[in-house]
C-alpha cells in the first residue's frame, strides 16, 4: 500500500500560494502521480503546472487561423465562419494581432 501524505487540509507548502481551485486540482493530480510511483518533488512540480493549466483554461485554448481572404488576409477563430480582422497584407494582419497581445 502506498502512503499518500496529502489532502485538502494537509498539503505541500508550495501549494499555499495557489488559489483554492488550483490547489484542490494540484492535490488531486499530485496524489495520482504519487500512486503511479513518481517522486514527491517531481509530482508537486508537475501537479502545480497542470492544475494551473486546467483551472486557468490554458489547456483548451481556442485556436485561431490566418487565412487568405478576397480582400487580403483574415484572422478567424476555428469554430467561427466570420473574420475577426481583415487586412490587405499578411504582415499587416500579423502586426495587428501582435499589438493586441502586448
Report residue 20 as a C-alpha cell. Answer: 483554492
What residues contact 47, with CB distance under 8 A and at least 6 apart?
26, 27, 28, 29, 30, 33
Q: What is the pTM of this model?
A: 0.53
Q: What is the pLDDT of residue 58?
A: 56
50, HSE (Cβ side, Cα atoms, 13 Å): 16
- The pLDDT value recorded for residue 89 is 92
pLDDT at position 5 is 78
Whole-number pLDDT of residue 6: 83
Number of H helices, E strands in the chain: 3, 3
Q: Give the residue ranges of the chain where pLDDT is below 70.
A: 1-3, 57-63, 101-102
Amino acid at each position: 500500500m502506498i502512503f499518500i501524505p496529502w489532502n485538502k487540509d494537509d498539503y505541500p507548502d508550495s501549494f499555499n500560494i495557489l488559489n483554492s481551485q488550483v490547489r484542490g486540482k494540484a492535490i488531486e493530480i499530485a496524489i495520482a502521480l504519487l500512486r503511479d510511483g513518481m517522486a514527491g518533488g517531481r509530482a508537486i512540480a508537475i501537479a502545480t503546472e497542470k492544475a494551473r493549466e486546467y483551472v486557468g483554461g490554458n489547456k483548451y485554448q481556442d485556436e485561431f487561423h490566418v487565412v487568405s481572404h478576397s480582400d487580403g488576409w483574415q484572422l478567424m477563430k476555428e469554430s467561427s465562419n466570420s473574420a475577426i480582422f481583415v487586412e490587405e497584407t499578411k504582415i499587416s494582419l500579423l502586426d495587428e494581432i501582435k499589438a493586441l497581445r502586448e
